[in-house]
Amino acid sequence: MYLFGDPTTWLPLAFATLLGLSILIYVVLDGFDLGVGVLFPFAEHDEKDRMVASIGPFWDANETWLVLAIGILLVAFPSAHGTILTALYLPVAVMLVGLILRGVSFEFRVKAPIRHKGAWDAAFYVGSMMTSLSQGYMLGMYIMGLEVTAFTLAFSAVTAVFLTVAYSFIGATWLILKTEGALQHKAVQWSKGGIWGVVLGLGAISVASPFVSPRIFDKWFSMPEFFLLLPLPLMSGALIVLLWLALRRLPTKDDSFAWFPFAATIVLFVLGFFGMAYSFYPFIVPDQLTIYEAASAPESLFIILIGTLFVLPMILGYTALSYTVFRGKATALSYD
Amino acid sequence: MDTLILSRIQFGANISFHILFPTITIALGWVLLFFKLRFAGTGDQKWVEAYRFWVKVFALSFAMGVVSGITMSFQFGTNWPGFMESVGNIAGPLLAYEVMTAFFLEAVFLGIMLFGMSKVPSWLHTLSTFLVAFGTTMSAFWILVLNSWMHTPAGFEMRDGVAFATDWWAIIFNPSMPYRLVHMLLASGLTVAFLLAGLSAFRWLIGDRSEGVRATLKTGMTIGAVLIPLQILAGDFHGLNTLEHQPQKVAAMEGNWETGPNVPLVLFGIPNEETRSTDYEIAIPNGASLILKHSPDGVVPGLNDFVAEDGTVQHPPVAPVFYSFRIMVATGVAMLLLSWVSIFFMARKKRGVESLPKPFLWAMVPMAFSGWVATLAGWYTTEIGRQPWLVQGVLTTEAAVADVPAPMVASTLIVYLAIYAALLAAYIGVLFYLARNAAKGEPLGTRIPAAPEAQVTVAAE
């Protein structure tokens, strides 16, 4: 335990990193399958089946990253877990109801009598919207330090919309990769319509965070940090320009570069996430509680860490296996 | 109603709804592996038919279990922050190991198991089926370790009101864990046994005479007949273990007020906490002493021992524990009768399902959900029986509840209840819809028509 010096220093940091990693993987992975749900009303009947087929084998494992994230928050930072979740009681409830609705709709829409399929499709859309909006709202409230005022509510309403549009964007880029024909054409159009959500979302968070907290302002705008951090916004800007150029040319005749928008969006999400992580470190409840104050007993964290070091590579390994098995364009889902 | 009771109802409703589905998937995963291996061994099409039908039930049940499980993982924080703050050092690692060793395994390989049959080699598909079954069982293992620790905590020390782990081996293999785990795994097996038999009997009654339906009905009844005596034995051992560690719970289960020898076994009665006696008692003399102490004059603890000098009641509410225990036992007896007599008929006339009298088949249909009734009743017995403690002797339920306004808990509770009722109705409806379709011999509507060719033509124009 004393291998790397004082465990009360490095263990909380290790778990904050794991927590961040889980949230990031969750936002990317469930982001695209939530986004596909958000795009549902824009699709024709048979297109909906193919959209679901593109995420069918993955959605369950994607959501498990949320369970892992909330689990790490729960086990590694119990007091922060209590503070954050009781402060976000109602949006969490909305998100859970949303996750329930969309999760069961995957199964019911193809197993229930055909005349009910429309209703389950609607439940899938409503569930995806509830989940995305409430997550965006919680993101906003978190940035605003979990305080409820008219301004923070308004800001959170805005982040709710932007995150939902951003999810629909990564969902659309996933569909460019996984579909062909008319649906792929549509997905390109949806991406063009959604990219503004990403730009405005990243912009709003970047502008708002420093002005809400003087501490974050100092972290960004003091020298030499300012120049060291400059690549983050510059790379994001460049990626957005490249994305826009690519979307104007897609889909190509030989389907080349169909992977590019999805890959670029992942990088964009990662960059945005690093910016946020940098802003909030070392706090886990913004400006109230640091990861060091909130951490569990070292002996408990240590026993989880050992397990994690064994299991996480295995999880990543068989997740990769699953994405390899179901690579290529989405085909009809069948149990045969 | 205050926040405490509303939060308890909310968590109770959630976990009751949730447990219905893992109870099915834990054992059904192994049954599907059995169907698959039987087909590999015999080449008989009926096992493929059985697999095809039941894998749909599995997928649907799994989705219901996943979404209701996510809800619970959040409610620890939203409704019971005191739980993690005081015993988080023990509960945390156990939950973390459940997510890492079970949840990802089941979730990832479920995708391959459901949709990968034509995409991966047969051995990898069989391996995926095995890993899903293994994952659900691992998940049951970890969660029952934690639950058992809440009943019989061990391997820790308290410092400033916070539990710190001192011996992980003692925490994992705490005194009630082996009994509870075996009892729950057998409950899962029985739930699936009667669900298999019940839905198959329904198909038979509406005219399905396929080999597949014969095979699943026989498989279900056989598993039921084998497991039910084992379950009665395991339940008895579990009861003796509870008597040792939580005597007040056993006193409530028996409806026994005064400690003493020659305690009768109360078959039925109405426990009355006002008069501290059981009204309208129908009892077998010396029965409880015989069961619990294996001697007619064995001394059995009574509830009055668990009242403080100032009159504060320190035992669980008697009536719910007393009644749910009887519902569980009665359901178990019904399972025993139905499965043994059915097997007897099938064995004696050697004509399989044909030799079963019609009323038996009709009885099997409602008994399809007997496992759910017994499992819920059993859980209510043990969990309400732990009150007023959340962690026996360490943390009271009242101390762990969140300081959330009662109307907020009430409003979310109403929404959850409405959704759970609707989903439960939809779930049962779809099971019977799938059964009717299968009986008609129609394709089961699992194929999602994609028609990419049509799309390409449109695009080319």
Distance from CA of B371 to the nearest CA of A (A): 22
Tell me the two tokens of residue B80: 């019971």
pLDDT in tens, B217-260: 999 999 999 999 999 999 999 998 998 899 899 889 988 888 88
Residue B116 corresponds to which amino acid? G
Tell me the two tokens of residue B41: 């061994």
- Domain boundary assignment for chain A: 7-325
Q: Highest mean pLDDT range out of A12-26, A79-93, A209-223?
A: A12-26
Lowest mean pLDDT among A70-74, A108-112, B439-443: B439-443
Q: What is the mean pLDDT of residues B161-190?
A: 94
Question: Is B334 a domain residue?
Answer: yes
* Contact flag A112-B119 (C-beta cutoff 8 Å): no
Q: Quick check: A33 contacting B, CB < 8 Å? A: no
Distance from CA of A15 to the nearest CA of B (A): 12
Number of folded domains that form chain B: 1
Position B456 confidence tier, pLDDT thresholds 50, 70, 90: very low
Tell me the two tokens of residue A112: 């229930």
Q: Quick check: B119 contacting A, CB < 8 Å? A: yes
- Residues of chain A in contact with residue B82, where contact means CB-CB under 8 angstroms, are 82
**Chain A (156-215) residues lying within 8 Å, Cβ to Cβ, of chain B:** 180-185
Q: Is pLDDT above 50 for B454?
A: no
Q: How many helical (H) and strand (E) elements, i.e. helices and strands, does chain B have?
A: 16, 6
Q: Quick check: B445 contacting A, CB < 8 Å? A: yes
Give CA–CA dist B19/B55, Å, rounded. 19
Q: Quick check: A19 contacting B, CB < 8 Å? A: no
Structural domain range at position B37: 3-254+317-460
User: Phi and psi dihedrals of A178, rounded to 5?
Assistant: -100, -5
User: Phi and psi dihedrals of B389, rounded to 5?
Assistant: -90, 145
Q: Is pLDDT above 80 for B450?
A: no
* Contact flag A300-B64 (C-beta cutoff 8 Å): no
H helices of chain A, in order, are 7-38, 45-55, 59-76, 78-87, 89-111, 117-143, 150-178, 181-212, 214-221, 225-229, 231-249, 260-280, 291-294, 298-325
* Contact flag B107-A61 (C-beta cutoff 8 Å): yes
- Chain A's closest residue to B407, CA to CA, is A90
DSSP B289-303: HHHHHSSTT--B--G
pLDDT in tens, B265-277: 888 888 888 888 8
Position A170 confidence tier, pLDDT thresholds 50, 70, 90: very high
Q: Is pLDDT above 90 for A310?
A: no
Partner residues linked to B178 by β-bridges:
none
Q: What is the pLDDT of residue A153?
A: 92
Tokens 């990243």 found at = A202
Q: What is the mean pLDDT of residues B135-146?
A: 95
- Residues of chain B in contact with residue A311, where contact means CB-CB under 8 angstroms, are 100-101, 104
* Contact flag B60-A319 (C-beta cutoff 8 Å): no
Give CA–CA dist A167/A30, Å, rounded. 9
**Chain B (368-407) residues lying within 8 Å, Cβ to Cβ, of chain A:** 402-404
Tell me the two tokens of residue B334: 């019904």
* Contact flag A96-B165 (C-beta cutoff 8 Å): no
* Contact flag A76-B56 (C-beta cutoff 8 Å): no
Q: What is the mean pLDDT of residues B317-327?
A: 93
- Residues of chain A in contact with residue B70, where contact means CB-CB under 8 angstroms, are 63, 66-67, 96, 99-100, 103
3-state secondary structure of A163: helix
- Residues of chain A in contact with residue B451, where contact means CB-CB under 8 angstroms, are 46
- For B82, the enclosing helix (H) or strand (E) is helix B81-98
Percent of the residues in chain B that have a pLDDT greater than 70, as a whole number? 95
pLDDT in tens, B58-67: 999 999 998 8
Q: Highest mean pLDDT range out of A45-59, B97-111, B165-179, B303-317?
A: B165-179
Is residue A148 within 8 Å of A139, Cβ to Cβ? no
Residue A173 corresponds to which amino acid? T
Q: What is the pLDDT of residue A336?
A: 67
User: Phi and psi dihedrals of B270, rounded to 5?
Assistant: -125, 105
- Residues of chain B in contact with residue A335, where contact means CB-CB under 8 angstroms, are 52, 55-56, 59, 114-115, 117, 446
Distance from CA of A58 to the nearest CA of B (A): 7
- Residues of chain B in contact with residue A70, where contact means CB-CB under 8 angstroms, are 73-74, 77
3-state secondary structure of B163: strand
* Contact flag B448-A297 (C-beta cutoff 8 Å): no
Lowest mean pLDDT among A40-49, B292-301, B437-446: B437-446
Position B177 confidence tier, pLDDT thresholds 50, 70, 90: very high
Q: Which of B24, B64, B25, B17 is nearest to A106 (CA)?
A: B64
**Chain B (63-92) residues lying within 8 Å, Cβ to Cβ, of chain A:** 63-64, 66-71, 73-74, 76-78, 81-82, 84-85, 88-92
Q: Quick check: A328 contacting B, CB < 8 Å? A: no
Distances, alpha carbon B341 to alpha carbons A330, B191, B225, in Å: 50, 18, 9
pLDDT in tens, A239-298: 999 999 999 888 888 888 889 999 999 999 999 888 888 888 888 888 888 888 888 888
Q: pLDDT: is B431 or B400 the higher one?
A: B431
Q: What is the pLDDT of residue A4?
A: 66
pLDDT in tens, A126-153: 999 999 999 999 999 998 888 889 988 9
Annotate A262-299 with three-state secondary structure: HHHHHHHHHHHHHHHHHHHCCEEECCCEEHHHHCCCHH
Question: Is B303 a domain residue?
Answer: no
Q: Quick check: A324 contacting B, CB < 8 Å? A: no
A300: nearest CB among B120, B165, B450: B165
Give CA–CA dist B369/B372, Å, rounded. 5
Residue A61 corresponds to which amino acid? A
Q: What is the mean pLDDT of residues B68-87?
A: 84
Give CA–CA dist B440/A251, Å, rounded. 45
CA A206 to chain centre: 17
> Which residues have CB under 8 Å from B75's CB, separation 6+?
B10, B11, B14
* Contact flag A68-B99 (C-beta cutoff 8 Å): yes
Tell me the two tokens of residue A182: 């008319």
Distances, alpha carbon B249 to alpha carbons B173, B238, B281, in Å: 21, 12, 19
* Contact flag B458-A182 (C-beta cutoff 8 Å): yes
3-state secondary structure of B282: strand
ipTM for the whole complex: 0.86
Q: What is the mean pLDDT of residues A64-80?
A: 87
* Contact flag A100-B419 (C-beta cutoff 8 Å): yes
> Which residues have CB under 8 Å from A285's CB, separation 6+?
A80, A83, A84, A146, A294
Question: Is B310 a domain residue?
Answer: no
Percent of the residues in chain A that have a pLDDT greater than 90, as a whole number? 34
User: Phi and psi dihedrals of B146, rounded to 5?
Assistant: -65, -45
Q: Is pLDDT above 80 for B210?
A: yes
Percent of the residues in chain A that have a pLDDT greater than 70, as a whole number? 99
User: Phi and psi dihedrals of A324, rounded to 5?
Assistant: -75, -45
Q: What is the mean pLDDT of residues A166-191?
A: 92
Question: Is B295 a domain residue?
Answer: no
DSSP B12-79: HHHHHHHHHHHHHHHHHHHHHHHHHHHHHHH--HHHHHHHHHHHHHHHHHHHHHHHHHHHHHHHHHHH
Residue B283 has a CB neighbour count (10 Å cut-off) of 17
